[in-house]
Every structure is written in C-alpha cells, then in structure tokens.
Amino acid sequence: MFQGGFQTYILTQPNTESALVEAEMSTIIDEILKENPSLAEQIPGRLEPVVRNVEDIHFDNDFPWVTEGSGNITYIYTFSSIAILIILIASINYTNLATARSAKRSKEVGLRKSLGSERLQLIYQFMMESFVMVLFAFIIGLVLVLVFLPQFNSLAGTAIRYSSLLSGSLLFGIVGLFLLVGFMSGTYPAFFLSRFNTIDTLKGKFKFSKGSNIIRRLLVGFQFSIAIILLISTVVAVKQMDMMQSSKLNQAGDQILSIRHGGTADYNKYASFKNLLQQDPDLQNVTFGNHLPRLDFFGPLSTPYRFPEVNDEEYQWNTFNVDFDFINTYGLEVVAGRQFESGNVSDSLMIILNETACQALGKSPQEIIGTAMSYPQVNGYFNYNYDSLQTGQVMGVVKDFPYQSAYQAIEPLVISPRPHFVDRIIYIKLPEGKFQEKIAKIEDVWEQVYPGVGLDYWFVNDEFERMYTLEKRVASLSTNFAGLAIFITCVGLFGLASFVAEQKTKEIGIRKALGARNSQILLLLLQLFLKVLLFSSSIAVPSAYFLSDWWLQNFVYQTALSWFLFVGSVAAIVLLTLLTVSFESLKASMSNPVKSLRYE
C-alpha cells in the first residue's frame, strides 16, 4: 500500500525481505515521477510504499488497509488472559473445596498410613482424583462447545467449523490444557491431605492449621479480585460503546436513509428526484453529501484553503461537499452566522466551518463570519488547479460533531455547497412509523427519474454498526465472559459457605445457648467473606481503573471513569456474595442449638 494512495498485491519469491521490496518500489516511484513532472505536481509530499505480508494485514492497525473487519491483536491477548483467569477461578474452586472437605477424609488418610501407605502413594491417589474430575469436566466442556458453537460464531462474528476442533494444534492444546488444569487443581490438595499426622487423625484431633486457612482466604480473595476487575472492565466497555453510538450523526441515524448516487446515475437529474420527493410533506429533508460517517478506509476529503485576511498559511482541511439542506437534515447546531438557504444563489460561494477550524485560525466563531477564503479548483483526489481559484466567504459555524470513528479526533472541517465529483450520497430523513411506506415511495420516484439504474440504500446507523463492529463484539464477549467468571466464583463461594457453616457448628450451638440472636450468628458467618471481599476490592478497584484507563487511551473521546461506576460494581459483587452465602449461613444460624452441641 502507498500512504495516502492505493493498495496492490505483489507475488514475491519465498523469504523475500520486505525492506528490499520497499526500496525497489521507492526507486520505481522516483523514476516514474521523474519522467512525468505533471503527475508529480498533483501529488502532495512523497509517495511512501508500505509493504506487509497478506497474513499480517488483518492485525495491522498502522495503516487504513482497504479491508473490512480488521482485527486488533490486543483483543486476542485480552480474551486469552480472561480465559486463563476463568480457568484459574475454576481451579481455585476445586482446590478450596478439596481442602475444605479434607476434614472428612482425614481418618481415611490416617487409616491408609497406618496400613503402610507411603506419602507418595497418597499424593498419587489424590492427583489421580483431580485428573479424573478434570477429565469429566473436559468431556462436559467439549459437549457444550459442540452445542454452543453456532451461538458463539454468531456472537463473535467468526466462522469456526466443527472440523476445526479436530486440528492437530487444537487437540494438542486441549491435551496440554487438561494436564495443566489437572496438575494445577490437584497439587495443593494432594500435598495438603498426604501430610496429615496418622495418630492425630485416627484420634479425631484433626484441625486446620492457620496457614491453610490463610491460603484458602487468599485464593477466595483472588477470585473476588478477578470478578471485580472483569465486572468493572465490562461496564466501562459497554459505556464506551454507548457513548460512541450516541454521536450527533447517529442520533437520527435510524431515520436517515442513504442512497448511493454514482456510476450511471446522472447528477443532473438529482434536482428532479429531490423535487418529486419533497412533494410528499413527510419527505421534506432531502440532501446530498459525502458518504458518512467516514470509515477508516474511505478516500480522502482534503482540500487546501487560504484565508488571506487571517494569515498567509494554507490549510489542508477535510471538506464535506453537500447541498443546501444538509445541516437541516442532520440537525447540526449553528453556533454563529447562518446556514445555507435554498434558492439563494450567492450561498453557493459560501462555506461553513466547524468550531475546530475556527480554533485553528485563532478566531472565535463570531469573528470568523464574513472572512474571505479561496481554494483551487479540485479536479480529483490531490489534483488541484491553482490557476482557477474559487473564492467566497465564511457564512456560518456549526458545533463540532464526530464524523469519523471515536479513535480519531475531530479535525477542522469545511462544509461546502458543491457536491463531490465521485463521493455522492443522497440522504432522506424518514418519518417515524412510516419507513416501509416511504421507502416504497422513494423506490417509485427513483424508478421514474433513474430508469434502469439500481437503487442501493441503507440507514446511516448501519454505517455506525459497521464502524464499531469489532468493539461491539468485544463488549458482548466481555459481558458473557465476566458473567461466566462471576457465576463460577459464586459456585465456589456457595460450597465454601457450606464448609464454613459446618466447621462452626459447635461454636454456633454454644453461642446460641449463651443467648446469641440469629442475626448475630448470621453476621458472624458473613463477616469472613465480607472482610476478604473488602481486602480484594482494595486491590481490584485500582487495578481495574488502570486497565480501563489504558484501554480507553485507544479512543480520542472517552467515557468518564466515575466513582459511582467502581462503587456500584463492588456493591453488585457484595450483593451477589450475600445472596450466595446467606442461604447456608442463615440455615446454620437458625439451627437447633441442642443438635449443634451434639454435632461432635
């Protein structure tokens, strides 16, 4: 690809270095421009070839390659990390629950040791139990993959086939993951259970050490931290998507119909087409302009402007070539001067700027009104005829509005009432509730004015959907992955709550016998989880803030990271925790103290 130019494909010999290709192409470009001076004058700056392997284009965001659906390798790393975190959460659940039920297996361990079992034999037994459990989980997981693969393809915009699951690399990865999860889940319980003292366990004197309780709490805290980080990150991603979708161009985008007007459609017939449509009182807002919003791979709109009353500089600014009704149709806000008036021929020599253009000129919107301007006749992309200058004045200033993606800052913009020679789209604002009726009317008028010319139309918000396809998929996937991680965490908390309630059965009986109320017992059982959650929040919230801020740096226009977002996310995790552990805790607090004291 050439910067600011076109894209082509070259077949090279194997192992050819891209730097050599770039150097050779630069030499060829210089020779061509040297032989064609007139061509060189039409090209601003220097043509720089950019060489990429076709396989690398999908994840190359350095240049606007003329391809749709380009990916971002950062998201691959992000979702891979989330998948690893979910596996860690599941492994922590197994580790916690396996060690939690170790009290019931302590006599088994003591009996086996008394009959001559070596510690390595016990470690082997418990590791095998872990691998068997993981094997069953993998079988269930693979079945679920087969069942939900079509839904995943729809959500992620992929086309993964069932046959892809049988590829050698994927099977190797599955086996490797199975061994890793089995080893990771079973190692600590195996070593923990196998070190029990034979005599103490046979006498029923087994009790958890302080160290094992601390490790279990740390693991639970790690789960909480992951859940909070994923929840906050997901909320930020969804808010960012909502903000990008609420731009000025898209606010009425579901009502504005776009019609491609190029090729065999005669521009001289546009006025007739517009007049026939405006005979319908519901179709008064009809305009002409460039293709909006501007997707990253669209052609340039730049035109060189001079404002001799301001300074001697030349400004290479984007230009919207429209007709007089553009501002009304899109509902743009005029902050100074006025907009174009239909039937006012002198307005064809005027231009309207956005606020950013005024700032670039060092003038306020009110000061710039009436300022003279000039620009060369535009014969094509970067083909300017300075011998034929177009002159006029600044007639108005509109409030800044994003006409590109949120990854790009709003640049100085000129709105000129002279349609583009190639980039021509008709925009029609439809009344709510009458879309099908009015589209049918438009089709009839089109066939009448442009017989034999195909009608290609879409809604403006469809273009925004295309512009942010990747980001919307990321937000959807993040929401589902965060929900899965939180669900797995809650399952582990429920099992751990059952264990804690069981371990404190005798303590609960004594406290109730001494007059403790059910609410006090409930608070006693809940405070363990709430303390761990508070500690986790102190780590997770700052981590989530920095991760979210890092991700938002990709966008010029960012959603706000308010304190309510973080407090609300932590509150949601607190509520889920209370709902998860309260059942077992409440059941234990309401138990009969007589039965509790007879527990042992």
| Residue 571, token pair as written in the block | 């509150």
What are 152-169's pLDDT values in tens digits? 887 777 777 877 777 777
Q: Look at residue 596 and tell me whether its pLDDT is greater than 80.
A: no
| Residue 298, token pair as written in the block | 């669209």
What are 224-246's pLDDT values in tens digits? 888 888 888 888 888 887 777 66
- pLDDT band of 358, cuts 50, 70, 90: very high
What are 23-45's pLDDT values in tens digits? 888 888 878 877 776 666 656 55
**Residue 551 identity:** W
Verdict on whether the full-model pTM lies above 0.75: no
Q: What is the strand order of the sheet 286-289 is part of?
A: 286-289, 425-429, 256-260, 457-459
Q: What's the pLDDT at 379? A: 65
Close Cβ partners of 57 (under 8 Å, ≥ 6 residues apart): 65, 67, 70
Give the residue-averaged pLDDT of 384-408: 81
CA angle 21, 23, 28 (to 5 degrees): 95
Residue 188: name the closest of 109, 107, 98, 90 by CA: 98
Residue 490: name the closest of 145, 98, 220 by CA: 220
- pLDDT band of 353, cuts 50, 70, 90: very high
For residues 358 and 261, the model is more confident at 358
Give the residue-averaged pLDDT of 59-88: 71
What are 96-153's pLDDT values in tens digits? 776 666 556 666 666 666 666 677 777 777 788 888 888 888 888 888 888 888 888 8
As beta bridge partners, residue 259 has 426, 457
Give the residue-averaged pLDDT of 186-211: 60
Close Cβ partners of 280 (under 8 Å, ≥ 6 residues apart): 438, 441
Q: What's the pLDDT at 105? A: 62
Residue 194: name the closest of 275, 129, 271 by CA: 129
Q: Look at residue 397 and tell me whether its pLDDT is greater than 90.
A: yes
As a whole number of Å, the end-to-end CA separation of the chain is: 78
d(CA 283, CA 442): 9
Range of weakest confidence among 37-51, 347-361, 387-401, 543-557: 37-51
Give the residue-averaged pLDDT of 550-574: 84
What are 505-514's pLDDT values in tens digits? 666 666 666 6
Q: What's the pLDDT at 524? A: 72
Q: What's the pLDDT at 542? A: 92
313: alpha, beta or left, given left = phi > 0 and alpha = psi -120 to 50? beta
Tokens 């009344």, residue located: 431
Q: What's the pLDDT at 355? A: 92
* Domain spans of the chain, in order of start: 265-452
For residues 85 and 209, the model is more confident at 85
Range of weakest confidence among 370-374, 434-438, 522-526: 522-526
Q: What's the pLDDT at 256? A: 87
- pLDDT band of 599, cuts 50, 70, 90: very low
Contact 352, 398 (CB under 8 A): yes
Q: What's the pLDDT at 41? A: 60
For residues 119 and 548, the model is more confident at 548
d(CA 241, CA 464): 11
Looking at every residue in the chain, the average pLDDT score rounds to: 78
